[in-house]
């Protein structure tokens, strides 16, 4: 393979579409690309603790096989779309032979027996898995730490959280360790880490991507609210990855076919933008409100129409999200965390006081909140109905060309443990899981502490191409992702 010399930082800054083009043109070796990213992971991971299990030797073998495939293929267009591109996946997504504990102490020895469907599809498209990333205990939290692997730190500021639950993914993409990572999102778990770490993240439309091979298994309607998707360096790379991931597999009962649009076909002059600085359910800091307004102004300058949204039901975001999650059924969070017996949150809190619990404080509090929610079934039914009504209302308002601009969180990345003081701030993202709307998070600024400020772009079900296109316009306006240097 004819490869010209280049400094490694170039590879650590390049988006997937550029890397893939150079591999197909035989000007970049997959071996060189994978080696560069392995070296970057080895350099930054001691500081941020994002990758908790690696498969570097196997990845190098797969990169060599990818290089051989390029050399023997005369038609570059016939090559797999992600050939030679390294990636990571969060520890809830099964990858054969790799840990699948979900951050739960009782599962610390569990290894995946086979690939999840999403991993299988990415590998089939030529992508190379280099490692598995850290997660919070059992998910459902905005920070990433557990008793097995410890805490993951934000590459922009080691004293700040990287978000969760795809926090390891967000941190390693933010630090330039991989061009993209596979996350999953049931309440903001792709979008919050992407926003905190300065990356782009996409939560696809509900029911678009199969959850087969995810732990804990999503049953019934919960599988519509939980969606796997990418965290990446560039919005241009989101749709090619989504095309690989999307579509039913015959095993996930709620996943169905969707027609994916083309982001390049979107004309911003046809787009109607509804800026929402706060949904009224939580206090949003001024820097996040300013981010939404800056994004709206940038889109208006490109010809988009700005309109006002009136949807007062959004202020009930937490009750809608929690009630629809409860009504979805499946095992309780306490059962998932407890192993042989459901977790008893009161008992675990007492054990924490004497340093004997293997659970985290946020996990115990989520189990306690879950029990309270189930005590009021009439309230749950009312909020489920309110959620369905809000879904219809917003789809009518948005139409085929409308998007919401919304903060992905109440503030930039908080200090470690900070989310425990404002535990409901995830509703900035969580509401759109149960509405099944696609949502793309993109960086638009940095605050006075040097932390990334992101916005969410949200559309109707099936309008993933529209949210990705608008995110791309915001990248052009504000510069998009840039590599963090953990210090």
Active-site residue list: 90, 165, 189
Contact 92, 184 (CB under 8 A): yes
Token representation of residue 343: 């977790």
- Residues with Cβ < 8 Å from 71, sequence gap 6 or more? 1, 26
Query: How far does the chain reach from its first CA to its final CA, in angstroms?
Result: 36
Where does residue 228 rank: exposed (0-12), middle (13-18), buried (19+ CB within 10 A)?
A: buried
Bridge partners for 150 per DSSP: 146
**3-class SS at 36?**
helix
Name 464's Cβ contacts closer than 8 Å, sequence gap at least 6.
Answer: 202, 204, 205, 208, 239, 242, 260, 261, 438, 440
* φ/ψ (deg, to 5) at 67: -60, -45
Burial class (CB in 10 A: 0-12, 13-18, 19+), 312: exposed
- Integer CA distances (angstroms), 284 to 275, 276, 410, 429, 455, in order: 14, 11, 4, 13, 12
Task: Show contacts of 252-258: CB within 8 Å, 24+ apart.
Answer: 252/117, 252/210, 252/211, 252/212, 252/223, 253/220, 253/223, 254/207, 254/220, 254/221, 254/223, 254/224, 255/207, 255/208, 255/209, 255/210, 255/211, 255/223, 256/207, 256/208, 258/205, 258/207, 258/208, 258/462
Strand, helix or coil for residue 146? strand
């Amino acid at each position: 393979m004819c490869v010209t010399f280049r400094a490694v930082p170039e590879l650590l800054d390049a988006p997937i579409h550029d890397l893939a083009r150079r591999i197909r043109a035989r000007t970049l070796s997959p071996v060189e690309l994978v080696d560069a990213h392995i070296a970057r992971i080895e350099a930054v991971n001691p500081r941020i603790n994002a990758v908790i299990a690696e498969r570097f030797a196997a990845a190098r073998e797969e990169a060599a096989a990818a290089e051989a495939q390029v050399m023997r293929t005369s038609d570059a267009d016939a090559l797999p779309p992600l050939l030679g591109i390294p990636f990571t996946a969060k520890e809830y997504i099964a990858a054969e032979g790799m840990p699948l504990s979900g951050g739960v102490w009782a599962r610390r020895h569990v290894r995946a027996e086979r690939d999840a469907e999403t991993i299988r599809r990415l590998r089939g498209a030529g992508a190379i898995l280099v490692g598995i990333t850290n997660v919070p205990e059992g998910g459902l939290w905005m920070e990433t730490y557990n008793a097995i692997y410890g805490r993951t730190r934000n590459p922009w500021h080691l004293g700040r959280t990287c978000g969760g639950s795809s926090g390891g993914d967000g941190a390693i993409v933010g630090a330039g360790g991989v061009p993209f990572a596979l996350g999953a999102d049931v309440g903001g778990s792709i979008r919050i880490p992407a926003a905190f770490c300065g990356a782009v993240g996409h939560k696809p439309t509900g029911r678009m991507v199969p959850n087969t091979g995810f732990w804990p298994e999503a049953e019934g309607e919960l599988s519509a609210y939980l969606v796997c998707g990418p965290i990446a360096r560039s919005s241009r790379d989101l749709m090619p990855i989504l095309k690989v991931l999307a579509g039913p597999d015959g095993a996930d009962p709620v996943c169905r076919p969707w027609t994916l649009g083309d982001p390049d076909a979107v004309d911003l002059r046809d787009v109607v933008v509804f800026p929402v600085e706060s949904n009224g359910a939580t206090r949003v800091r001024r820097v996040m409100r300013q981010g939404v307004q800056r994004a709206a102004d940038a889109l208006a300058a490109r010809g988009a129409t700005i309109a006002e949204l009136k949807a007062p039901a959004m202020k009930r975001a937490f009750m809608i999200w929690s009630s629809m999650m409860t009504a979805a059924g499946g095992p309780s969070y306490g059962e998932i965390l407890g192993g042989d017996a459901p977790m008893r949150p009161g008992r675990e809190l007492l054990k924490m006081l004497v340093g004997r619990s293997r659970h985290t404080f946020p996990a115990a509090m989520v189990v306690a909140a879950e029990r309270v929610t189930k005590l009021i079934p009439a309230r749950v039914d009312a909020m489920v109905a309110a959620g369905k009504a809000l879904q219809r209302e917003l789809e009518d308002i948005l139409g085929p060309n409308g998007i919401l601009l919304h903060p992905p969180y109440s503030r930039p990345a908080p200090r470690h443990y900070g989310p425990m003081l404002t535990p409901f701030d995830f509703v900035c993202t969580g509401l759109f899981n149960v509405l099944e709307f696609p949502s793309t998070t993109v960086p638009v600024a940095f605050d006075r502490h040097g932390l990334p400020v992101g916005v969410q772009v949200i559309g109707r079900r099936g309008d993933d191409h529209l949210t990705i296109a608008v995110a791309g316009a915001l990248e052009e306006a504000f510069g998009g992702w840039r590599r963090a240097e953990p210090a």
